[in-house]
Amino acid sequence: FPSHDSNLQFNGESVLRGLEDRYTVQGFYYWAEDSGEQTQNNGRVRGQYDSFFSKKWYGYVNTVQEKDRFRDIRLRSTYSLGNGYQFYEGDKRNLSLEGGLSFIRQDYLQAADESHVALRWAVNYNQYLFEHFMQAFHRHEVLVTPRNPSQVLLYSSTGLRFPFIFGLSASTQV
């Protein structure tokens, strides 16, 4: 049988850095259809504010709002706060580590809604290779529920980014 695939993907990130503050907004939306039947419909938006109280240490607050029709998630809202350490920060290389607490509220399409507290840690790394021709990146975030340690949320993105002009780039990632 012939297959007619359609898909739509949006990804974006913006970081605004001041002397003592950093604002980050990231998001994606994926939609796909195969032979007239929807096969993917999910999206995620993340916003974070970092307040630096030294050159390397900062406090953060963030929120993540996401939906995934095929995983029964009408809306998962996560609110986090904690501390971070900026190992490297510059034009060519960045590395930070964060840890803190999160409150997670899950509104399901069919299952019973739930909410709980989780422990959060995250790593954010990127580095240019070959004089700004290509950037390697890795970001992961792990949320573990202490009352049920098998309940883990893991977000991970690793890949290569190829900058173009005006802050636009092409990337391949897992």
Instruction: Report pLDDT digits (tens) over 115-136.
Output: 999 999 999 999 999 887 899 9
Q: What angle do CA 133, 139, 142 make, to 5 degrees?
A: 175
The set of residues, in sequence order, having a beta carbon less than 8 Å from that of 164 and lying 6+ positions away, is: 170
Question: Which amino acid belongs to residue 136?
Answer: A
Question: pTM here?
Answer: 0.87
Residue 158 CA from chain centroid, whole number: 11
154 within 8 A of 139, measured Cβ to Cβ: no
* C-alpha–C-alpha distance, residues 59 and 130, integer Å: 33
Q: Which residues contact 165 (CB under 8 A, 6 or more apart)?
A: none
Confidence of residue 2 (pLDDT cuts 50, 70, 90): low
- Residue 168 predicted with pLDDT over 60: yes
Mean pLDDT, residues 87-115 taken together = 95
